[in-house]
Chains A and B, each alone.
Chain A
Amino acid sequence: GAVVSQHPSWVICKSGTSVKIECRSLDFQATTMFWYRQFPKQSLMLMATSNEGSKATYEQGVEKDKFLINHASLTLSTLTVTSAHPEDSSFYICSAQLAGDEQFFGPGTRLTVL
């Protein structure tokens, strides 16, 4: 199956700093990428949908100025958590999709904000 990578796999940062997470589709071109957030013992919650070259569509309740998404190419999307706070600590997962096909998920990035 298609491979999606995320970098870093885990990150610890101080409160008030910004953190960038990368999502790459390694062997296919993804027209759409999705960003999810997963809390412990809870389901994945869709944060936003991004299409290459256009602005991301954010789900209700997700602050677009807090979670900046850039989808600059068909193989790379980035999520930047700006001015991170402890409540932003979570597991962030991306998925990549080619034109309405199956979503392929990355392994996730664990963010801890001190």
Chain B
Amino acid sequence: GEDVEQSLFLSVREGDSSVINCTYTDSSSTYLYWYKQEPGAGLQLLTYIFSNMDMKQDQRLTVLLNKKDKHLSLRIADTQTGDSAIYFCAESYNTDKLIFGTGTRLQVFP
């Protein structure tokens, strides 16, 4: 079945880059997403990438996709304390059924 895995925790110093990794098993995934979850707020879509792309950049965010290895990463440049949150990767074949990873808690310290 479908499975999406992430490391549970990442701690970085303010100003450094953060790299959050994700692996998935479903090779038919069409869309791959990164969501941010802050306490008391809903999941916020940060960015997504189509499976036929290998990179997407959006301001401080860079998504890299290695389709052969089924590996997805999110790089946050110049990480700020406001970036502290839980980050979920997710995959889907269409835009409806999302399969989420376990989430990575990012902690940014000064």
Contact = CB atoms under 8 A, between A and B. Distances in A.
A100 B95 contact: yes
A104 B42 contact: yes
Interface stretch (A12-20, A41-49, A76-84): A41-49
A97 B41 contact: no
A19 B8 CA distance: 31
**Chain A at the B interface: mostly helix, strand, loop or mixed?**
strand
B96 interface: yes
A35 interface: no
B82 interface: no
Interface string A54-88: 00000000000000000000000000000000000
Given A43-B4, A43-B103, A97 B42 contact: no
B103 A49 contact: no
A97 B40 CA distance: 21
B100 A44 contact: yes
A90 interface: no
A45 B101 CA distance: 10
B97 A4 contact: no
B43 A49 contact: no
A103 interface: yes
A42 B104 CA distance: 10
